[in-house]
Each structure stands twice: as structure tokens, then as C-alpha cells.
Amino acid sequence: MLHKFAAIVLCVFGVCAMSHAAAPVLVIHGGAGVIKKEMDPATQKAVRAALATALERGYAQLKAGKPALDAVTAAITVLEDDPHFNAGKGAVFNHDGKNELDASIMDGDTLRAGGVANVHRVKNPILLARAVMEHSPHVLMFGDGAEEFAKTQGIVLVDPKYFWTEKRWQELQDALKKDAAGQHADAEKEGHFGTVGAVALDKAGHLAAGTSTGGMTDKRFGRVGDSPIIGAGTYANAGCAVSGTGWGEYYLRTVAAHEICMRVTQMHQPLKEAAEYVINKEIPKLGGDGGAIVLGADGEFATPFNTDGMYRGWVDKDGKIHVAIFPGE
């Protein structure tokens, strides 16, 4: 443990307490479900570059001594602004040809949390989720009400046309064709991937987690997945931080992010073992799939997934940047 922490003893009026200076760590994901045969070299290059930029922006906050929350929001906003990811600019379309954006964030030190769901004009939903956490008495805001709150907080709102991309529009058209052919179940199974997220450990030893998504292609009826729901797609406490990506209904049913952290902090299960069990055993057993990024207070982390790939990256305790897409990287 000595290579990861420098112990500092603080004494006030004869009472001494131990605090720790941690080596900062940042882990991010840009969504599970990557299909290698559909990944051309140009797309791979662009995705890897975006992941690296997100890591650089987020880690700069940690190196400057800023809290883990700042690193999480800095990294996620980069991914929200990049059309290669299903969040923000690259969000998928619902059945009616509209974008419905979700996000959440959580501070592991205080257990404060904020989330937003089904917003249509918020350029960076993760910033609004943080505003909900820090400037309201609530945890979750929805739709038009969330956007009204965004106006009071100076959060940037854009014309819905900002989110339109040719790729996502064509994905919707393909899904609609399958609907018409009676293949809605197949379209739903193919359309649930996406999401971006980050987990961070700062110099004070505090953890934070955040997640942002455009949801599911061709989704109907105001469907909300796991990403804006604390405990399902996002969770952080003093010992563990998680951001998930995958078929949200199964992350909701297993309360996946919270389940992983409870295994780590309450059952004292090794972090990688806990992450592996929930993501690669519990969720698939029910019929779901996906991945997650998990970070512990000691700097250990895991990036389990059970799909063709998962956009992911990390800056380890030595400050080295790593980016990966496929298994084994």
C-alpha cells in the first residue's frame, strides 16, 4: 500500500487522525457493444483519439489537485461533444425521431448525487446532473422541468438539430424497417448499446462516478434506462465507484452499480471479482449484457464487459494513458 498512498498525520488539541494522499486514477468508457466488423480504421482512430483527449482533460483536473467530480465532468463532456459516442452530440434517436438524453453523477465522499432524464436541448447533460446535485434539494429531474432548471443554472441549451447526425438517423431508419417487418425484438436488442462514463480517484482519496447517454435507438413511451438512476448505472461511495454501459433494463433490475460497490465495501470481495460477477454472471443470467468501469479507493480498477468490445481508457497511478476497444487490449 505504501506505493499508492503517503500517510499524513494531523493532530489537533492532542487528537490525531490519519489522512491519505492518493495517487490519482481516472477510468472512462465510451460504451459497450462494439462490433469489430463494422469498425473501419478511420473510426477506430477517431474513437481512440477522443478517448485519449477525454483522459487528458480529466486527468489534468486530478493532477491540479481538483476533486474527482471535476475530473469526471471534464472527461464526460469531451465524450458528449464527440459524435462517435451515444451521448450528447452523438445521441441516438427515439421512435419519433427525437433525442432523449440522460445523465447522472455521484460524489463518493458525501453520497450526494444528481441525475436528469429525457432532456432534449441540454448540450452537456452531465453538467446539468451535477447542477441538480449541487444546487437543488433533489436527486433526479425529468424532461421539461429539468430544462427549466437548466435555465436557472446557466446550463447551455441548444436547438435539437444540434444532436442530428447521419449515422444515428440511419440507425433509426434501419430499426423502423425491422419494426415494420415484425422484428422489433431484434431491433431492440441491437439498439441498447452506447453510453459514456467516468470514475475518478483524486489526491484526497475521494471517488466519484458519472454516466451520460442518448439511450436506446427506436425507444418508445418515454423509456428511461439505468444511466440517470443512482445505484443502477452510476454509484460511488468511499470505497468504490462504478459507471455502467449496456442493456439498461438489466442494470436496473440488478441495481448493478450499487451491487458491485456493496460487494466491495460490505462483503469485502476483491474489486475485480465483484465487477466480474455482476457484469459477466448476474446480468447475463437474466438475459442482459454490457460492461462497466469500476474503481476502488486504493486505485485498483476493472473494466469487465461481455460484448464484442467496449470503448475504454484509463490513466493509472503512474500517470500513463491507455486506450482500448477490443478484448485483450
| Residue 184, burial from CB neighbour count under 10 angstroms (0-12, 13-18, 19+) | middle
* Annotation marks residue 195 as catalytic: yes
One-letter amino acid identity for 41?
Answer: P
Residue 297 φ/ψ, nearest 5 degrees: -65, -15
Residue 119, classed as helix, strand or coil, is strand
Distance CA 142, CA 144 (A): 7
Cβ pair 94, 221 in contact under 8 A: no
- Contacting residues for 35 by C-beta, under 8 A, at least 6 apart: 308, 309
> What stretch of H or E contains 103?
strand 101-107
- Contacting residues for 286 by C-beta, under 8 A, at least 6 apart: 250, 253, 254
Catalytic residue of the set 73, 77, 195, 234: 195
Active site residues: 195
